[in-house]
Amino acid sequence: MTIVSQQSDPDSLEHVAGKVEDLHDRFKDSKQKMIGVAGPNPFGDIRHPDHVPGEHPSEHAVSALQSYRDRMHGQFDAAAELMKSTGGALRDAARALRGTDDAARDSVTVKDGSLDQ
């Protein structure tokens, strides 16, 4: 039977925190690329099939795409903030581990006399 010892390495935690925080930047970049409809209506000037005056189905399509874009921007923002806070939590955990290691190092007592020379 093999027993595996799991250790938390502060340097590894900080490395992972950096990777997670990089995801924050990627979400922000992706959000900027999702612009919706810009410029002339890509659907052209489509009239209602029953010739209803003032009714432009293409305007409804643009409106729907803008609503979709706005909701997706909200999702990108939420994901980016989640990555930012996760990175911060990982960095806090690394600091806590370092603090615990430092405190343990300062309070170690050797009772077997192996350090006596």
pLDDT tens digits, one per residue of 40-49: 766 666 666 6
87, 77 contact by CB (below 8 A) = no
69, 36 contact by CB (below 8 A) = yes
State residue 63's pLDDT score. 82
What is the percent of the chain where pLDDT is above 70?
A: 70
- pTM, two decimals, is 0.62
What confidence category does residue 55 fall into, taking pLDDT thresholds of 50, 70 and 90? low
More confident residue, 21 or 59: 21
What is the percent of the chain where pLDDT is above 90?
A: 42
DSSP string, 24-73: HHHHHHHHHH---S-SS-TT--PPPTT--TT--HHHHHHHHHHHHHHHHH
Tokens of 39: 């410029």
CATH, domain range 10-37+58-104: 1.10.287
Domain ranges of the chain: 10-37+58-104
**Collapsing DSSP states into helix, strand and coil, what is residue 103?**
helix
